[in-house]
């Protein structure tokens, strides 16, 4: 009986509190890396390939620590990108509410995993070998059970608490925080066609997934940090594996360059605009709309602070995410400011040019040339400066 009680009190390790905390931190971080590096960046978006041994270890660990099936995770995330912020998005705070996604994100994941049609459609190209069919997919709950037994063997009765925290930890941070707060609060580098935000410029705690807006701007990029002040620990791990010969980076977001003295938009301009359309629209807001708004507010004598921040930010996307009442307030704000109305109209026209692919490159280039000519003819200094900059846009290789 003493032997049993001794085992239950400390398991095989008899580790102290510090040892238990270190173990918990290590196993949860390994799970986060398995999710962000393997399931997300490699399997879902094909931004990086891992050595078969490392790839299979990631697959085994995600199964053992969470019971997640690779095909289901990949399919649900691909559908999220394809249907983002619509009623078909598996976990959009806009439709489900922030509290539901934050606290019940794992339930939304389970519901989405029952849609076999979507799983088959969006889960193409994921592992389908013998062990996937007969072990990982068929016995999803066997992995967490094995993890539970391992924790008890190591720490005795404390292994139960560690296992419970493990099972809560990943669903909360991944399915809750990233999918919820990452589409609700934070800062945005890029005016993407969704509500994705960066939670913090230092993507450390949850593997770099904090840089969610960057990821939505360039989904296939293996590197999420895209500004000098940002850090992505997942990318640091990929570079380490690359140096060890265990990873091959396939895609990284290219940088946006500006060529001087380009008189007319050309093929290089168009290629850069299509690759960086979200960054271009963000540049337009910061370089044209925002200074125009400040100038007109100052001239009116009430200052920019008199305009609600939410409405000011909404000018960058045409009020896409505003409710009807707020959209009407924004329209009234623009209507009584002629210069602001002009630059907002040109923003909408530029967005239309970048989204219109049916006419081919030649038609888009013609529309872009006309846009630049008319923008510079308005006499609005900020708009003319942006047009001159836009003509010189080009792609340059991304800096690792």
From the list 328, 271, 321, 312, the residue with the least C-alpha distance to 84 is 321
Distances (CA, A) of 211 to 74, 302, 322, 328: 19, 36, 24, 32
From the list 206, 181, 195, 156, the residue with the least C-alpha distance to 36 is 206
Residues 6+ apart with CB under 8 A from 40: 77, 209
Burial (CB < 10 A; 0-12, 13-18, 19+), residue 376, is: middle
Distances (CA, A) of 325 to 16, 86, 150, 330, 344: 58, 20, 56, 9, 19
pLDDT tens, residue by residue, 222-257: 999 999 999 999 999 999 999 999 999 999 998 889
pLDDT given at position 399: 45
pLDDT given at position 357: 63
pTM above 0.85, yes or no: yes
Q: Choose the weakest-confidence range: 125-129, 156-160, 221-225, 334-338.
A: 334-338
Structure-block tokens of residue 326: 């707020």
Residues 6+ apart with CB under 8 A from 31: 61, 62, 65, 66, 166, 169, 170
Sign of CA dihedral 319, 323, 324, 328: negative
Structure-block tokens of residue 385: 């400066």
Cβ contact 28:174 at 8 Å? no
pLDDT given at position 306: 65
What is 294-327 written as a DSSP string? HHHHHHHTS-GGGS-HHHHHHTTTTTTT--HHHH
pLDDT given at position 358: 58
pLDDT given at position 254: 87
Please give the residue that has the higher pLDDT: either 292 or 336. Answer: 292
pLDDT at 297 > cutoff 80 = no
> Cα dihedral angle (380, 292, 255, 202), rounded to 10 degrees?
170
The whole-number average pLDDT for the span 5-18 is: 89
pLDDT range class, residue 171, cuts 50, 70, 90: confident
- DSSP 8-state assignment for residue 181: G
Cβ contact 298:317 at 8 Å? no
In percent, how much of the chain has pLDDT > 90?
74
What is 214-257 written as a DSSP string? HHHHSTT-S----STT-EEHHHHHHHHHHHTTSEEE---PPEEE
Cβ contact 184:42 at 8 Å? no
Rounded CA-CA distance 159/14 in Å is 11
pLDDT given at position 294: 87
How is the chain split among helix, strand and coil, in percent rounded to 5?
A: 65, 5, 30
Rounded CA-CA distance 204/211 in Å is 10
- What value does the mean pLDDT of the chain take? 92
> Cα dihedral angle (296, 301, 303, 308), rounded to 10 degrees?
-80
Cβ contact 59:67 at 8 Å? no
pLDDT range class, residue 268, cuts 50, 70, 90: very high
Phi, psi (rounded to 5 degrees) for 94: -65, -35
Per-residue buried b or exposed e for 240-255, using 16+ beta carbons within 10 Å of the residue's own CB: ebbeeebbebebbbbe
Burial (CB < 10 A; 0-12, 13-18, 19+), residue 338, is: exposed
What is 134-169 written as a DSSP string? IIITTTTTHHHHHHHHHHHHHHTTHHHHHHHHHHHH
């Amino acid at each position: 009986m003493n032997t049993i009680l001794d085992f239950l009190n400390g398991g095989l390790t008899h580790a102290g509190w510090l040892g238990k905390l270190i173990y918990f931190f290590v196993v949860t971080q390994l799970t986060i890396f398995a999710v962000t590096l393997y399931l997300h960046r490699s399997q879902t978006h094909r931004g990086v390939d891992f050595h078969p041994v490392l790839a299979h270890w990631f697959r085994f660990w995600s199964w053992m620590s969470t019971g997640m099936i690779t095909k289901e995770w990949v399919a649900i995330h691909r559908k999220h990108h394809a249907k983002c912020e619509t009623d078909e998005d598996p976990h959009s705070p806009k439709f489900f509410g922030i509290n539901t996604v934050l606290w019940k994100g794992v339930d939304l994941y389970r519901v989405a995993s029952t849609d076999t049609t979507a799983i088959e459609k969006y889960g193409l190209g994921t592992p389908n070998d013998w062990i996937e069919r007969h072990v990982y997919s068929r016995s999803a709950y066997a992995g967490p059970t094995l993890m539970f037994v391992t924790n008890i063997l190591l720490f005795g009765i404390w292994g139960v608490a560690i296992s419970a925290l493990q099972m809560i930890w990943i669903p909360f941070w991944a399915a809750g925080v990233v999918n919820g707060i990452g589409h609700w609060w934070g800062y945005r580098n890029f005016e993407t066609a969704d509500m994705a935000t960066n939670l913090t410029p230092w993507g450390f705690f949850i593997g770099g997934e904090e840089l969610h807006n960057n990821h939505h701007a360039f989904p296939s990029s293996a590197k999420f940090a895209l500004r000098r002040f940002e850090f992505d620990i997942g990318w640091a791990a990929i570079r380490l594996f690359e140096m060890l010969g265990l990873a091959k980076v396939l895609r990284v977001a290219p940088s946006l360059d500006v060529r001087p003295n380009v008189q007319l938009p050309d093929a290089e301009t168009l290629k850069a605009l299509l690759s960086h359309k979200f960054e271009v629209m963000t540049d337009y807001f910061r370089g044209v709309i925002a200074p125009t708004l400040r100038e007109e507010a100052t001239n009116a004598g009430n200052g920019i602070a008199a305009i609600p921040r939410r409405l000011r930010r909404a000018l960058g996307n045409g009020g896409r995410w505003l409710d009807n009442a707020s959209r009407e307030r924004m329209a009234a704000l623009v209507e009584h400011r002629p210069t602001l109305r002009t630059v907002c109209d040109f923003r909408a026209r530029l967005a239309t040019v970048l989204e219109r692919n049916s006419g081919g490159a030649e038609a888009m280039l013609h529309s872009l040339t006309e846009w630049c000519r008319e923008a510079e003819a308005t006499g609005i200094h900020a708009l003319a400066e942006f047009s001159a900059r836009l003509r010189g846009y080009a792609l340059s290789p991304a800096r690792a």
